[in-house]
């Protein structure tokens, strides 16, 4: 395992063609990620109100809390490295949070799907060939933009573009980059160090 953990970091740009076909382990691990983040979503929903209250002095600043909801898609994409992983994990996480009692109702499934597609776009833009810091940040940006567009269209359509929508989008993207992108990649690499990801390319790159 130690030998695998120190293979050249160039593995982070290995072609997706080396493994675009989904294996049973890919499905299981992506599902586990989705369920785990669904529980995280449930807990975060409870904390969201109290955490957002101190941010009321600058309404768009609430977007800084959105990054947690964008983590499953980006983390799954960085770990599983298969087309569709981000959408699968994100949508499942939303569904699980709904089962636990999401205050947002059924629309949360739409959000999970859209956020997953947003994260997926970041990996698609690199043709699923790169899974390092640049791609993690890119996927964080595209995921953040996806949920911002949906929020601004569904809930904030009557608000000012420059007064609310634009800064809200900026704060959401920053949160997504930091939590989904950077923290997400740190999490994947930490798991790789334990040897738990030996069945994945993410566990065979230098960490």
Range of the domain at 103: 2-203
Domain count, the chain: 1
Look up residue 81 and give its two tokens: 């490295």
One digit per residue, the tens of pLDDT, for the chain of length 207 reads 333 333 434 344 444 434 688 999 999 999 999 999 999 999 999 999 999 999 999 999 999 999 999 999 999 999 999 999 999 999 999 999 999 998 899 999 999 999 999 999 999 999 999 999 999 999 999 999 999 999 999 999 999 999 999 999 999 999 999 999 999 999 999 999 888 888 888 867 654
CATH number at residue 12: 1.10.1760
């Amino acid at each position: 395992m130690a030998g695998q953990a120190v293979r050249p970091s160039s593995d982070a740009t290995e072609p997706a063609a080396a493994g675009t076909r989904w294996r049973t382990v890919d499905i299981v691990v992506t599902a586990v990620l989705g369920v785990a983040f669904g529980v995280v979503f449930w807990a975060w929903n409870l904390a969201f109100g109290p955490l957002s209250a101190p941010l009321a002095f600058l309404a768009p600043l609430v977007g800084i809390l959105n990054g947690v909801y964008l983590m499953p898609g980006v983390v799954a994409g960085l770990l599983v490295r298969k087309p569709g992983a981000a959408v699968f994990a994100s949508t499942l996480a939303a569904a699980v949070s709904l089962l636990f009692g999401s205050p947002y109702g059924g629309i949360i499934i739409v959000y999970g799907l859209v956020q997953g597609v947003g994260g997926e776009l970041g990996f698609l833009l690199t043709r699923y060939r790169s899974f390092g810091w640049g791609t993690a940040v890119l996927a964080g940006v595209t995921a953040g933009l996806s949920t911002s567009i949906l929020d601004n269209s569904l809930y904030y359509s009557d608000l000012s573009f420059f007064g609310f929508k634009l800064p809200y989008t900026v704060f959401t993207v920053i949160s997504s980059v930091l939590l989904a992108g950077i923290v997400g990649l740190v999490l994947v690499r930490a798991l790789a160090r334990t040897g738990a990801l030996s069945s994945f390319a993410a566990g065979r790159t230098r960490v």
